[in-house]
């Protein structure tokens, strides 16, 4: 029976038990309960586990060294679910202490399994939203990496910060405007669309795109932005027609 097949009362009891079991492991130099939780088939059980690690890290400073050393060992585990959940746990810590967990993302970004790499992307999203300065500085170092998948993953990872603060990630995105891999440029175009439909964001994005030099790519991005205003019309500040009119009146590309 999966987590959400349980009643709310039973789910709450299970969450409390997982929190206690993980805390017990950390205070007694054990990992059995953590491994059981981190390797569970149910996504929500694993999520409960990595959220528990984050809560304990902040509420019990005396266990921080133990938590970091435990996660470091778990990142070497064979089951990819354990490595995936370990990266997610590091992401909870990185929301406020990125310097303590940066190495987990340097490693996870090159993991052989896509689920671990996806956990890096998800963690960069949540960390970048809360703790943008060090996270974006780290991301920038990988935007010219020779591995196209690394460039694509980092581009995708910084998206969430851009939805509310596009000015923070646009200089990083511009690093990819002449990337020669379609998979990377497709992600770049997608991200530009995703950061342009919230309040005030279109103005910021278009102003920045006026400074880009790859006219063909920018025009594809503008088409995506217009399309996003239709696909997400329930959430977009402007209608699709208003977005078209704004772009027509404000996009002035470099000749």
The pLDDT tens digits of the residues spanning 128-170 come to 999 999 999 999 999 999 999 999 999 999 999 999 999 999 9
In this structure, are 122 and 159 located in the same domain?
no
In this structure, are 121 and 6 located in the same domain?
yes
- Residue 254 pLDDT grade (very low, low, confident, very high; cuts 50, 70, 90): confident
- pLDDT of 2 above 90: no
In this structure, are 210 and 153 located in the same domain?
yes
In this structure, are 195 and 106 located in the same domain?
no
In this structure, are 168 and 245 located in the same domain?
yes
In this structure, are 201 and 233 located in the same domain?
yes
Nearest to 169 by CA among 215, 119, 204, 123: 204
In this structure, are 45 and 73 located in the same domain?
yes
- Residue 3 pLDDT grade (very low, low, confident, very high; cuts 50, 70, 90): confident
Last residue of a domain, one of 135, 155, 172: 135
Residues in the chain: 255
pTM for this entry: 0.91
Q: How many domains does the chain have?
A: 2
pLDDT in tens, 93-107: 999 999 999 999 999
Quote the CA–CA distance of 127 and 130 in Å, as a whole number.
5
- pLDDT of 6 above 70: yes
In this structure, are 150 and 219 located in the same domain?
yes
Last residue of a domain, one of 118, 135, 152: 135
Nearest to 206 by CA among 232, 226, 233: 226
- pLDDT of 255 above 80: no
The CATH number that applies at residue 40 is: 1.25.40
Over residues 108-127, mean pLDDT: 96
Secondary structure letter of residue 1 according to DSSP: -
In this structure, are 169 and 121 located in the same domain?
no
For the chain, what is the mean pLDDT? 96
pLDDT in tens, 158-210: 999 999 999 999 999 999 999 999 999 999 999 999 999 999 999 999 999 99
pLDDT in tens, 32-82: 999 999 999 999 999 999 999 999 999 999 999 999 999 999 999 999 999
In this structure, are 130 and 150 located in the same domain?
no
Last residue of a domain, one of 120, 135, 150: 135
In this structure, are 108 and 166 located in the same domain?
no
In this structure, are 20 and 119 located in the same domain?
yes
- Residue 1 pLDDT grade (very low, low, confident, very high; cuts 50, 70, 90): low
Residue 78 lies in domain = 1-135
pLDDT at 133: 97
């Amino acid at each position: 029976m999966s987590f959400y097949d349980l009643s709310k009362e039973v789910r709450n009891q299970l969450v409390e038990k997982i929190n206690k079991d993980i805390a017990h492991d950390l205070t007694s130099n054990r990992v059995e309960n953590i491994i059981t939780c981190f390797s569970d088939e149910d996504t929500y059980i694993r999520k409960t586990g990595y959220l528990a690690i984050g809560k304990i890290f902040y509420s019990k400073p005396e266990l921080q060294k133990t938590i970091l050393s435990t996660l470091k060992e778990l990142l070497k585990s064979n089951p990819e679910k354990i490595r995936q959940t370990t990266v997610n746990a590091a992401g909870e810590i990185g929301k406020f202490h990125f310097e303590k967990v940066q190495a987990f993302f340097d490693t996870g970004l090159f993991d052989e399994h896509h689920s671990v790499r996806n956990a890096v992307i998800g963690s960069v999203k949540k960390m970048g939203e809360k703790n943008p300065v060090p996270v974006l500085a780290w991301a920038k170092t990988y935007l010219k990496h020779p591995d196209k998948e690394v460039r694509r993953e980092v581009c995708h990872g910084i998206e969430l910060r851009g939805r509310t603060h596009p000015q923070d990630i646009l200089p990083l995105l511009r690093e990819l405007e002449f990337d020669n891999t379609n998979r990377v440029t497709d992600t770049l175009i997608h991200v530009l669309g995703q950061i342009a439909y919230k309040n005030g964001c279109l103005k910021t994005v278009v102003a920045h795109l006026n400074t880009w030099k790859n006219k063909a790519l920018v025009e594809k991005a503008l088409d995506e932005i217009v399309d996003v205003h239709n696909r997400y019309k329930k959430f977009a500040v402007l209608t699709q027609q208003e977005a078209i009119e704004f772009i027509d009146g404000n996009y002035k590309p470099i000749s």
